[in-house]
Amino acid sequence: MKKTSGRLADGREIVYYDLHDDAVRTTADRRPMPAMEAHAQARHDPLLDEWVGVTAHRNARTYHPPADECPLCPSRDGRMSEIPESDYDVAVFENRFPSFHGAPGPPQADGPAGLFRQMPGAGRCEVVSFTSDHRASFADLDEEQARLVLDVWTDRTAELSHVPGVEQVYCFENRGEEIGVTLSHPHGQIYGYPFTTPRTARMLRSLAEHAAGPGGNLFESVVAAERAAGERIVLEGEHWIAFVPHAARWPYEVHLHPTSRVPDLLGLSEPARAEFPGIYLELLRRFDRLFGEPAARTPYIAAWHQAPFGTDPGPRLASREEFALHLELFTIRRAPGKLKFLAGSESGMDVFINDVPPEAAAERLREVAS
């Protein structure tokens, strides 16, 4: 993998990752662009003990451009995009409309008894374009290309972990307009959060409680229990195991774990890295076969869960070394032509109601194997 860093016209960084060492990346971005203006803020909810991002500048972000104006396609035939080169393998650049951006600062208290806290929404948000082919999907990549993306996720996790103010790094892909995607080019994003996310904090809290009670690592206990039950296992390799969780929230939801627990992408062994592309591509292709609609790809979210990089987890939370890297892949489609909407129970009370029994979902995902 060859890594080449450059700058876009407004000062944002762009990084090219190439499969071959002889790739040369020298094309300058000559677009007349003003400097990026992003005013991100984080506000604390005292009742839920959660941080919420406030980002008014994102209202102006690019929304469903036509294919010939795609900002993630290479710059060709006089049309300049966010990626100045005429071709590329994988390109990563700072998001022009970031959810988190800028230098960190201490929380400031306001309101009666300092109840309302806020702080700069520090951090970094990046766009990862998986391929220069606008018509492709991640599932269309070959194993060499998928391995390159894994290496990119790992490298960006390492880089963002050193950005001042970043507490947690989150690599993810949204696919499909039904999910809310506004750019159809195959791409993902990486967020460097200025706090530990609520979902991860809950996992760390459960880890600590389990260690203080029954003992042992809760992630390892869950994986062992799923393997023993067997009925929700979707596929298993030497270094990875994929299963529908016992209490799946989404109609079709798969959790992919390395069989040797590590806290983040940086900890993966080379054998696990080598096996990942085949396992992951097979999962994605099974998702696309679920509903028998070859012309309509299944919408999904693929989310890497990694341990926060903060050194002090607090008295109620487990340490980062106890966390288990894993990928959660799920779709909001529950049947052909039918979507799972987050309505009153899910959105109002955080109580998910799943119409598809996890065992039935796992069986269906086994049926559509290659």
pLDDT value of residue 294:
60
The answer on whether 171 is annotated among ligand-binding residues is no
Of 191, 225, 170, 172, whose CA–CA distance to 58 is shortest?
191
Hey, what CATH topology would domain 199-367 get?
HIT family, subunit A (3.30.428)
Burial 161-172 (b: 16+ CB within 10 A, else e): bebebbbbbbbb
Contact 302, 331 (CB under 8 A): no
Of 90, 251, 266, whose CA–CA distance to 178 is shortest?
251
The answer on whether 305 is annotated among ligand-binding residues is no
Task: Please enumerate in sequence order all residues whose Cβ is within 8 A of that of 118, keeping only pairs 6 or more positions apart, or say none.
Answer: 41, 42, 43, 44, 107, 108, 110
Q: Which of 101, 187, 210, 305 is catalytic?
A: 187
Extract the residue ranges of the chain whose pLDDT is less than 50.
none
Domain 2-195 and domain 199-367, same fold? Reply is yes
Task: Please enumerate in sequence order all residues whose Cβ is within 8 A of that of 301, keeping only pairs 6 or more positions apart, or say none.
Answer: 172, 173, 174, 175, 179, 328, 329, 330, 331
Q: Tens digit of pLDDT for each residue in 231-283? A: 999 999 999 999 999 999 999 999 999 999 999 999 999 999 999 999 999 99
Q: What are the angstrom distances between the C-alpha of 82 and each of 9, 102, 128, 333, 370?
A: 9, 20, 12, 31, 36
Q: Is 326 a catalytic residue?
A: no
Domain ranges of the chain: 2-195, 199-367
Q: What is the CA radius of gyration of the chain?
A: 21
**CATH number of the structural domain 2-195:** 3.30.428.10
pLDDT value of residue 81:
97
Q: Tens digit of pLDDT for each residue in 47-99? A: 999 999 999 888 777 778 888 899 999 999 889 999 999 999 999 999 999 99
Of 167, 14, 193, whose CA–CA distance to 98 is shortest?
193
